[in-house]
Structure 1
C-alpha cells in the first residue's frame, strides 16, 4: 500500500511509484502512436479524413465514464470492506488477549500456560489468514508459536486458519474444565473467536467472488474501441495536437480500468493493495506485549513510500 503525503502540483506529474502508468503504458503508447499517424496523414493529405461531428464521441465518452466510475466504486467498496474486516480482526485479537490475561486465573502454572497458548494461537491465526489470502507458505511465521503436534495436524488441514480456531475453542474448553475461568465468562471469550471466524469468512467471500467477468470485458472492449476511433474523430479539428489528446484520454480510461483491477483484489501484493504484513506484525507485537514479553519483531515501516 502506498503511504505518502500529498505532493505539490509540480511533483504530482512525475510520480511513478503507486501510479498505474507503467501498467497502462503500452496502451497509451499505442493510442498515441495511432493518433500521431492519423495526424500526419491528415497533415499531408487534408482530404483523407473528412470532418466528423464530435457528438457521437462525446456521448460514447460519457457512457464509458459512467461505466468506469461504477466499476471503480465497486472495486473500492471491495477494498474498503477488506480493510474494515482486518480492522475488526485486530480488535478481536487484542480483546481476546486482554480478556484472557484478565479473566483466566494466573496464580498457577496452568493459568499462565493457558494465557500463552491462547495468545500464541491468535498470533498464528493472523499469520495464516494472511498467507491463505495471498496463497503463500505460513510455516516460517507460525512454527515458533505452535507445538509440534499442532504443526503435524495443521499440515493435513485444508483450511489452516479454521483449524487454528478449533484449537482455540479446545483451549477455552480446557480452561473451563480445569476451572481456570468462570463458566459465565467463557461465552465472552468465545465470542471473539466467533468474530474472528466471521472475519475469515468475509475475506474468503471477497476473494472468492470477483466482479463479474462479463462486466469487466464490456468495459475494456468499450474503452479500446473508443480510444481507437478517437483520433479519427478529432483529427480534422485538432490537427497535429491529436496525439496529445489521445494520450490523455487513453491514460484516463485505461488508468481507471487498471486501478479498478488492482483494488478489486485487495489481498495481493500490488502497490495499492492492503498492507497485511504490517497489520499482522502490529497485532503480533501487541499480543506479545500483553504476555509481558519483550523479545518481539520490529514493526514493518514503509520503504520508498510503500508498505506491505
Structure 2
C-alpha cells in the first residue's frame, strides 16, 4: 500500500506510483489509436459508413455507471472490512498482553503469551498471502512450538489454541483466577472471529459474472464510441475517447485491485507494516524489542 503526504494538485496529475495507469496503458493506447484510425477514415469501414449518435452512448453510459458504482462500492467494502478486522487484531493483542501483565503478575509468563500473539499475527499474514510463515514464526516460538506449527495446515488457528492453552495453564497453576480468565477468553474469541473474517474475505471473491459483464460492456462501449462522436467533434474524437476510456478502464482496474485486500499490489493493505506495528507494540509492553525486520522506507509502506 502507498502512503504519502498530500501532494500538490499539479504533481497529483502526473503521479504513476500507486495509480492504475501503468496497468491500463496498453488498453488505453490501443483504444486511442483505434479512435484515431476511425477519425482518419471518417467513420467508414470499407464502403460502410457507421452512423451513430450520442443517444445510445448516454443510455449505455448510465448503465455502466451503475455497474461500476456497484463494483467499486463492493470492492471498497471488502477492503474496509479487511482493515477493520486487522484493527481488531491490534486491539485484542494489546488487551491480552495488558491483561497478562496486570492479572498474572509474572512478566516471564506474559512474555510467553506476547510471543505467541506475535506468531499469530505473522501466521495470519502469511496464510492470507499464501507465503511461508516458518522463518517469522521461528522468531517467537521454541523448537517444539515451531515444529507443532510447521505441521499445521491452519497455522493461525493453532497459535490461538496455544494462546488458549497458556490461559489454561495459568488458571490451573493458581496464577490466574477463573473469573479473571473470562476477559482473556473473550479477547481470544474476538481474535478467532477476526481470523474467520479474513479467511472469508480471502476465500470468497466477488462473483465472476460481475467482472465479465462490466469488462465486456466497457470494451464494447469504448470501441463503438468513436463512431458516435466523430460527426459531432471531429478531430477531437481520439482525445475525448481516450479520456472516457481512461475513466472506465481505471475504475475497473481499481475495483479489481482492492477486491482482494490481502494481495501485494500497490493499493492493497500493508500487511507487512501492520504486522510489524502490532509486533512492536505488543513486545514493547513486555520490554522486548521487535524481532522481525522493519518494513517501509519513509513514504512507501510495503504490503
Alpha-carbon offset, residue 190 of structure 1: 1.2
Equivalent position to 1:119, from 101, 114, 119:
114
**In the alignment, is the contact (CA less than 8 A) between 1:281 and 1:299 conserved in 2?**
yes
Task: Using structure 1 for the length normalisation, give the TM-score.
Answer: 0.93
Distance 1:297 1:124, change over 3 A: closer
Alpha-carbon offset, residue 292 of structure 1: 1.4
Alpha-carbon offset, residue 236 of structure 1: 1.4
Alpha-carbon offset, residue 51 of structure 1: 4.8
**In the alignment, is the contact (CA less than 8 A) between 1:234 and 1:242 conserved in 2?**
yes
3-state secondary structure, aligned to 1:193: helix
How many residues align? The count is: 302
Render the CA deviation track for 1:159-211: whole Å, top value 9, x for unaligned: 00001111111111111110011111011111111110000000001111111
CA distance in 2, matches of 1:166, 1:119: 14
Determine whether 1:270 maps to 2:265: yes
Give the superposed CA RMSD.
1.8
- Corresponding residue for 2:147? 152
Q: Which moved more, 1:48-57 or 1:241-250?
A: 48-57
CA distance in 2, matches of 1:160, 1:50: 60
Distance 1:19 1:295, change over 3 A: closer
Alpha-carbon offset, residue 293 of structure 1: 2.2
Q: Which runs of 5+ in 1 are unaligned?
A: 107-111
Alpha-carbon offset, residue 298 of structure 1: 6.5
1:134-153 matches, within 5 Å, as 134-153=129-148
CA distance in 2, matches of 1:145, 1:50: 68
- Corresponding residue for 1:177? 172
Alpha-carbon offset, residue 141 of structure 1: 1.0
3-state secondary structure, aligned to 2:165: helix
Distance 1:103 1:185, change over 3 A: same
Q: Which runs of 5+ in 2 are unaligned?
A: none
**In the alignment, is the contact (CA less than 8 A) between 2:118 and 2:278 conserved in 1?**
yes
**In the alignment, is the contact (CA less than 8 A) between 1:266 and 1:274 conserved in 2?**
yes
- Corresponding residue for 1:109? none
Q: Which moved more, 1:90-99 or 1:291-300?
A: 291-300
- Corresponding residue for 2:246? 251
**In the alignment, is the contact (CA less than 8 A) between 2:262 and 2:271 conserved in 1?**
yes
CA distance in 1, matches of 2:76, 2:165: 38
Alpha-carbon offset, residue 6 of structure 1: 2.9
